[in-house]
Structure 1
Amino acid sequence: MTEAISENAAILENASVRRVRDALRALGAGERVIVLSDSARTAQQAADALGCPVGAIVKSLVFSHDGKAVMALVAGDRQCDLAALGRALGLGAAPKRADADLVRRATGFAIGGVAPLGHAETLPIAIDASLGRFDRLHAAAGHPHAVFPLSYQELLDWTGGVAAEGLGKA
């Protein structure tokens, strides 16, 4: 039991998780970060650990457009439609998948723990409108074992993202 508490404390004090916790506090959201005993690198793993539908997991996906990062926040049971992302953000063309270096540089997070907020740079963000079908969502909190709960409206408000119909395709 002491080992589990020590491990949870270490995850909560991880620099990336601290950045998410600080961002949530700055938004007036308080302490929301949940440490999971199992990894939540994928939406399915997170849903299994939380006992929620996979669609209620917010996937934070980073893409590249003209060498700059853009983000899509997509329901866990959907795939990102890149053409819809380009339209939603007014890019003129569909972005491409970002490499791990661009993800880290733009967000400050490693793939597998990218949060929808607390980024190193301000990113244009499009949000899959299908996430609105759930009362409670969960998003990565900067570490593969850390998530936080939020509502669809909070996701919109806190990220400054634009809701996009058809961004997430089944």
Structure 2
Amino acid sequence: MENVRRALTEAGLPDTVLLVPDSVATAATAAAVLGCEVGAIANSLIFECGGAPLLIMASGAAKVDTKKLARENGLSKINRAGPDFVLEHAGQPVGGVAPLGHPQQLRCLLDTELRQYPVLWAGAGSHQAMLSLSYDQLLRITGAKETAVR
């Protein structure tokens, strides 16, 4: 979580990390705790693509279509990554992955459906931390390619 806080401020953004008493490891639980729509949760999902990590920032209301994403973005097969792979490449646990604060910059795709929400919420490096930011801020800090994920 401290890496996430540091990365936010280094990116010129305010430290918006919010700690909550209960786990917010799923979009549904995060939305319930934060009082927002599930779609406003920007899930940070790590996939394996050609042996490398791929971060997909998807709306909590979306089910990611990996075949479509691979085809439309010229990628090899995209596979769900296991917890050890996620921890190795993100430095954060599944269910708490943030869009930034990783050991290295990750290739990223950003769900265009998130653009409709003025405030987005994303994991902040633990199961009890979230951060808030705008779509444009998320796009800038991740260097993502915008795409539909479903």
TM band (smaller chain):
over 0.9
The answer for the alignment partner of 1:140 in structure 2 is 123
Moved over 2 A (4+): 87-90
Structure 1 counterpart SS, 2:7: helix
What do residues 31-72 of structure 1 show as CA deviations (whole Å, max 9, x unaligned)? 210011221000000000000000000111111122211111
Deviation at 1:85, TM superposition (A): 2.5
* Paired residues, number: 150
Say if 1:88 and 1:34 are closer, same or farther in 2 by CA, change over 3 A: farther
Q: Distance in 2 between matches of 1:97 and 1:154?
A: 26
Match of 2:66 among 82, 102, 106: 82
Contact 1:74 1:128 in 2 (8 A): yes
Match of 1:65 among 24, 49, 54: 49
TM-score in terms of structure 1 length? 0.84
Contact 2:50 2:77 in 1 (8 A): no
Match of 2:133 among 108, 133, 150: 150
Runs of 5+ unmatched residues, structure 1: 1-16
Deviation at 1:135, TM superposition (A): 0.6
TM-score in terms of structure 2 length? 0.95
Contact 1:73 1:125 in 2 (8 A): yes
Deviation at 1:87, TM superposition (A): 3.8
Structure number with bigger Rg: 1
